[in-house]
């Protein structure tokens, strides 16, 4: 490329960047509101819970008070638990064992209700800045927890409290209520090729 051509390209690039910066600055100036967010991470791809836990770690790193409630049946502790509990994060886990072992729906509902009671306390607690409800979406799909009750509790929570909800097939009303929603799409997953769940990566 001749010097003249490259000067022209540089000038064009600079102009484009300046215009982009102006637009971004305008949007930053406009975004002045400050309040607790409702964030939903849904979809079939891998990365929903890790994203939720990543945000909890980010918040703790800034000195915020965080809580985690896991609506999971498995009794294996995930790697995040020991790390975050040691950092002062409150942890509640449903951990009923798998239904195909217990085949006991009533027991599952009772376990879901028990952690939901704890979740409601958190949603009234001004001292909790950010809470992750991991895999909550399934409790609504199975109707183990009442959707309207969840919506009311989310709406009435402390104004500055952030809530993250993860899980596949999030109910439309929760998506409508949320401020930020991401759908993680699966392009491929190691499990499809017979690779088993890996410690530190999958749990
Ligand atoms: P992660 O906890 O890794 O962020 P996730 O929360 O997005 O995953 P879940 O549906 O909660 O996904 O499933 C948890 C487990 O299932 C993890 O071990 C994860 O690797 C695995 N998994 C997630 N998505 C898929 C998929 N599309 N195919 C197969 N296995 C998956
Ligand atoms: Mg998950």
pLDDT tens-digit series, residues 134-157? 999 999 999 999 999 999 999 999
113-117 long-range CB contacts below 8 Å, 24 or more apart?
Answer: 113/144, 113/145, 115/69, 115/70, 115/71, 116/145, 116/149
Expressed in angstroms and rounded, the spacing between residue 6 Cα and the centre of ligand 2 is: 49
Ligand 2 centre to CA of 184 (Å) is 11
pTM of the model: 0.88
Q: How confident is the model at residue 73 (pLDDT cuts 50, 70, 90)?
A: confident
State what percent of residues in the chain have pLDDT above 90: 69
Q: Ligand 2 centre and the CA of 167: distance in Å?
A: 6
- Do residue 96 and residue 26 come from a single domain? no
Pocket test for ligand 1, best of 46, 52, 55 (most atoms within 8 A of CB): 46
pLDDT of the residue at 1: 56
In a 13 Å sphere around the CA of 161, the CA atoms on its Cβ side amount to 22
Let me know whether 71 and 158 are in one domain: yes
Q: What is the pLDDT of residue 99?
A: 55
Mean of the per-residue pLDDT values for the chain?
Answer: 92
Q: Give the pLDDT of residue 25.
A: 81
Q: Provide the CATH number for the domain around residue 49.
A: 3.40.50.300
CA distance linking residue 142 with residue 180, whole number of Å: 24
Q: Which pair of tokens denotes residue 194? A: 């017979």
Rounded mean pLDDT, 164-186: 98
Residues 19 and 47 in one domain: no
Q: Nearest C-alpha to atom 25 of ligand 1 is from which residue? A: 46
**Cβ distance 141 to 112 under 8 Å?**
no
Domain of 20? 1-32
């Amino acid at each position: 490329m001749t010097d003249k051509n490259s000067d022209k390209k540089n000038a064009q690039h600079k102009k484009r960047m300046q215009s982009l910066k102006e637009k971004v600055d305008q949007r930053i100036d406009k975004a002045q509101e400050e309040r607790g967010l409702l964030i939903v991470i849904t979809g079939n791809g891998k990365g929903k819970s890790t994203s939720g836990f990543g945000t909890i770690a980010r918040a703790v790193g800034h000195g915020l008070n965080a809580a985690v409630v896991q609506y999971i049946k498995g009794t294996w502790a995930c790697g995040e638990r020991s790390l975050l509990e040691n950092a002062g994060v409150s942890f509640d886990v449903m951990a009923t064992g798998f239904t195909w072992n217990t085949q006991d729906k009533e027991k599952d509902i009772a376990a879901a209700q028990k952690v939901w009671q704890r979740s409601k306390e958190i949603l009234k607690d001004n001292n909790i800045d950010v809470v992750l409800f991991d895999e909550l979406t399934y409790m609504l799909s199975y109707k183990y927890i009442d959707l309207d009750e969840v919506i009311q509790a989310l709406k009435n929570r402390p104004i500055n409290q952030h809530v993250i909800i993860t899980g596949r097939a999030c109910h439309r009303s929760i998506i409508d209520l949320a401020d930020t929603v991401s759908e993680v799409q699966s392009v491929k997953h190691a499990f499809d090729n017979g690779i088993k769940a890996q410690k530190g990566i999958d749990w």
